[in-house]
């Protein structure tokens, strides 16, 4: 059975999509972006194709796929999908009205998304706020398998506690589209941790994703927002203190390793992309510091 996963971005979404590798039986191919390739090291993937590489995309056109999981809603990959030989499709596609649509298997998930076809944006956001299923669970159920807490699969070995030696990594960055995911307390938190003689480091994005992965793997505890780094840290089995200002904490499955701190203003600014200093400073530094102390004993 030949299976194609189409998932280019966002990068954190690529990481969480790897839960599907636990349950897909067959020869797995993955079409992604060149930037995301370092996140896909699993031995369960037979071949990775870059969307930017026309030669690799042409090779996909010659393969007949038993199943295609179309998990990217951007126009270019959806138009490319029309060039493929597909027996069964689950996910996004362009319908006869030339609109982004999705198959019935995705109703629960995408009815509460930006592209909801049954609900207004306000109604979809309300469903998203009330939703209690995590995205990994939704993805597993998308292919009609039982959710049992399947892990992410980056194909990278986590470093031991001895190698990490109590190091704390602060990921004080966020995506440009989601400025409200940022937390304004990182610098003061670092100062407070250092006064307590903790080993603490800023882990901003470097010149490559590989370096970001290595930085995270060198730490025992990661403090971050709802970002790529959070998903990498969970995949590498780190202890994570995750801060949620405007996105749904219920969508993140923590595998018993995550401590979630939710802004008291979450409901007011839920899914808001407008740059708002009030929400970015709404989680107290002392609360974050206290959770880190508890985790490290």
Kind of pairing between the strands at 168-170 and 239-244: unpaired
Residue percentage of the chain with pLDDT more than 90? 91
No. of helices (H) and no. of strands (E), the chain: 12, 13
Kind of pairing between the strands at 100-102 and 89-94: antiparallel
Which residue spans within 111-186 are E strands per DSSP? 168-170
pTM over 0.85: yes
| Cβ–Cβ under 8 Å, residues 215 and 200 | no
Whether residue 98 has pLDDT greater than 90: no
> What value does the mean pLDDT take over residues 235-250?
97
Q: Which fold has domain 2-142?
A: Rossmann fold (3.40.50)
As annotated, the residues of the chain forming the CATH 3.40.50.2000 domain(s) are: 161-296
Kind of pairing between the strands at 45-50 and 258-262: unpaired
Q: What residues have CB less than 8 Å from 177, skipping those under 6 apart?
A: 273
Q: What residues have CB less than 8 Å from 239, skipping those under 6 apart?
A: 220, 221, 222, 257, 258, 259, 295
| Confidence grade of residue 187 (pLDDT, cut at 50, 70, 90) | very high
| Cβ–Cβ under 8 Å, residues 252 and 241 | no
| Residue-level pLDDT at 94 | 92
- Say how far apart CA 79 and CA 86 lie, in whole Å: 14
The single residue listed with the structure tokens 């049992």 is 148
| Confidence grade of residue 195 (pLDDT, cut at 50, 70, 90) | very high
Q: Which structure tokens are listed for 262? A: 């939710």
| Residue-level pLDDT at 125 | 94
| Residue-level pLDDT at 297 | 81
| Residue-level pLDDT at 97 | 87
For the chain, the distance separating the N- and C-terminal CA atoms, rounded to the nearest angstrom, is 49
> What value does the mean pLDDT take over residues 10-34?
96
pLDDT digits (tens, 9 = 90+) for 130-185: 999 999 999 999 999 999 999 999 999 999 999 999 999 999 987 668 999 999 99
How confident is the prediction for the chain on average, in pLDDT?
95
For residue 295, CA distances in Å to 82, 94, 222, 257 come to 49, 47, 11, 10
- Say how far apart CA 265 and CA 285 lie, in whole Å: 15
| Confidence grade of residue 30 (pLDDT, cut at 50, 70, 90) | very high
- Say how far apart CA 3 and CA 47 lie, in whole Å: 11
pLDDT digits (tens, 9 = 90+) for 72-84: 999 999 999 999 9
| Residue-level pLDDT at 129 | 96
| Confidence grade of residue 206 (pLDDT, cut at 50, 70, 90) | confident
| Helix 228-235, helix 209-217: angle, nearest 10 | 50
| Residue-level pLDDT at 205 | 75
Architecture of domain 161-296: 3-Layer(aba) Sandwich (3.40)
Cβ neighbours of 33 (radius 10 Å): 18
| Residue-level pLDDT at 207 | 81
Whether residue 105 has pLDDT greater than 90: yes
| Residue-level pLDDT at 43 | 96
């Amino acid at each position: 059975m030949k299976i194609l996963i189409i998932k280019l971005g966002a990068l954190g979404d690529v990481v969480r999509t790897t839960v599907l590798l636990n349950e897909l039986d067959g020869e797995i191919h993955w079409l992604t972006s060149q930037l995301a390739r370092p996140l896909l090291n699993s031995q369960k993937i037979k071949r990775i194709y870059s969307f930017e590489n026309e030669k690799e995309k042409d090779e996909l056109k010659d393969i007949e796929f038993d199943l295609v999981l179309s998990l990217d809603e951007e126009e270019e990959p959806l138009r490319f999908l029309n060039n493929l030989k597909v027996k069964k499709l689950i996910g996004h596609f362009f319908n006869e009205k030339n609109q982004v649509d999705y198959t019935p298997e995705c109703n629960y998930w995408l009815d509460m998304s930006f592209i909801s076809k049954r609900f207004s944006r306000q109604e979809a956001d309300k469903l998203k706020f009330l939703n209690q299923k995590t995205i990994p669970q939704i993805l597993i159920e998308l292919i009609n398998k039982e959710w049992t807490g399947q892990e992410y699969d980056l194909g990278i070995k986590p470093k031991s506690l001895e190698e990490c030696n109590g190091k704390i990594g602060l990921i004080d960055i966020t995506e440009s589209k989601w400025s409200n995911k940022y937390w304004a307390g990182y610098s003061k938190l670092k100062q407070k941790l250092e006064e307590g003689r903790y080993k603490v480091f800023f882990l901003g994005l470097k010149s490559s994703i590989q370096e970001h992965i290595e930085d995270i793997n060198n730490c025992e505890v990661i403090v971050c927002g709802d970002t790529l780094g959070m998903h990498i840290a969970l995949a590498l089995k780190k202890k994570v203190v995750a801060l949620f200002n405007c996105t749904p904490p219920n969508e993140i499955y923590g595998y018993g390793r995550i401590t979630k701190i939710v802004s008291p203003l979450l409901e007011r600014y839920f899914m808001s992309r407008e740059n708002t200093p009030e929400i970015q400073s709404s989680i107290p530094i002392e609360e974050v510091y206290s959770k880190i102390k508890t985790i490290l004993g």
